[in-house]
Amino acid sequence: MPWKESTAMEERKRFIQEAKTGSTTLTRLCQQFGISRQTGYKWLKREREEGEQGLQDRSRKPKSSPLQSPAEVEAEVIRIRDKHPVWGGRKIRKIMEREGKVPVPSASTITAILRRYHRIDLEESRKREAFIRFEYDEPNQLWQMDFKGHFRLLDGEYCHPLTIVDDHSRFLVGLKACPNERALTVQKQLSQVFEQYGLPQRILTDNGSPWGDEKESPFTFLTTWLMQLGVDVIHSRAYHPQTNGKNERFNRTLLEEVIARQGFENLDEAQAFFDQWSTVYNTYRPHEALNFEVPSSRYEPSKQCFPSSLPLAEYGPLEIVRKTDRKGVFTYEGHKLRLGKAFPSKEVVIRPAKAVGVIEVYFYNNKIARFDLRESEC
């Protein structure tokens, strides 16, 4: 008869004893005990190699799992993930390599560990998309500047995060907790950044306030100040194909790793956390766009220092110079021409264009307007 679970050990002992007497064949003996010849041979072999202890039931779990990482490796993966809750397998692997962890699993194995420990939302993971990148060749050739919306603080006020990112290195030169999005506020924050990192060659913004005024012109007090510093201002509308991918990716990073996971009492507390996170972002967090290196490995401050006072425009002696009034209006050959409120009481240069009757207006080294005198009048 088949062995009953409650008496399995006794039945195995009796089977071994009768097999050793040799009173019957093994085939008949297995039939008497209701087991297969294979099972009979198994118990005989175990008893011979291990004695009576070999007749105990064994766990069906494999002694080792080649597809499962050691417990300490999995614990390290989870530790890094819990500290940085939106980092994926490739970033975590780079951190483990950098810190000399041995062994370092593959990125796919780390992802599997994260899934096994319920650290990955599969639906959110599917939403992540690759994007086409364009970048400048050297640091400080282009900075991208933007406000990333706003959120409410626990004290009832609002925080408007101002971000300034070096295009080449992805180095975050500025993450500022601003009380508003006014030009004077941005000028103050930019001055601090310029003091620390020097001046970029150009800054890319959109056409919205405070960088531009779509209703009147792409210029504001802020952009004229940057021109006077020798910084070119490039305007790009929202969703521009060359910049949208990078901007959207950084927006998501800031939202996921900072804004969505924190409740700040006030602006000072927000800025303190922004500073801490910026250090991690620049010096510790691996970046996929940089082959999983950190931005600080590709960035160095600009050699163009922030001046203590605005440099004067240097126009040639043969240039046609006009000065605007307080409303940004100047007169040329009997025409009153309006540059806008961004240019009050400023000296500008008039240069004839190739077309007859058309002039171009320059402020410092920047062309700011073009007028057809045959039809222009403010």
**Size of the chain, expressed as the number of residues it contains:** 378
| Residue corresponding to tokens 């410092």 | 364
Q: Please tell me the predicted confidence (pLDDT) of residue 49.
A: 77
Place of tokens 């992802």: 111
The gap from C-alpha 319 to its chain's centroid, in whole angstroms, comes to 47
- CA 374 to chain centroid: 51
Query: pLDDT by residue for the chain (378 residues), tens digit each?
Result: 455 444 677 888 888 888 887 777 778 888 887 888 788 888 888 887 788 777 777 655 444 444 456 888 888 888 888 888 778 888 888 888 888 876 888 887 888 888 777 677 544 454 443 333 456 788 999 999 888 888 999 999 999 999 999 988 889 999 999 999 999 999 999 999 999 999 998 998 877 777 766 566 678 889 899 999 989 888 775 545 455 456 567 777 888 888 876 689 999 999 999 999 999 888 988 877 777 788 888 899 999 999 999 988 888 888 899 999 999 999 999 999 999 888 999 999 999 888 888 999 999 878 889 999 887 655
For residue 14, the 8-state DSSP code is H
Beta carbons within 10 angstroms of residue 202's beta carbon: 17
What residue has token string 């959110």? 124
Ordered DSSP codes for 48-76: HHHGGGGGS---SS-S--TTS--HHHHHH
pLDDT at 10: 82
Please report, for the chain, the start and end positions of each structural domain, with discontinuous segments joined by +.
Answer: 5-55, 71-127, 143-297, 320-372
* Start-to-end CA span in the chain (Å): 110
| Whole-number pLDDT of residue 5 | 45
Return the pLDDT at 55: 79
- Strand bridging mode 232-235 / 143-147: unpaired
Query: Per DSSP, which regions of 182-287 are E strands?
Result: 202-205, 232-235
Point out which residues pair with 372 in neighbouring strands.
358
Whose tokens are 């500022």? That residue is 176
If you search the block for the tokens 């990333």, which residue do you land on? 148
The fold of the 143-297 domain, in CATH, is Nucleotidyltransferase; domain 5 (3.30.420)
The dihedral of CA 77, 78, 79, 83: what is its sign?
Answer: positive
**Prior bond to 210 cis, omega within 30?**
yes
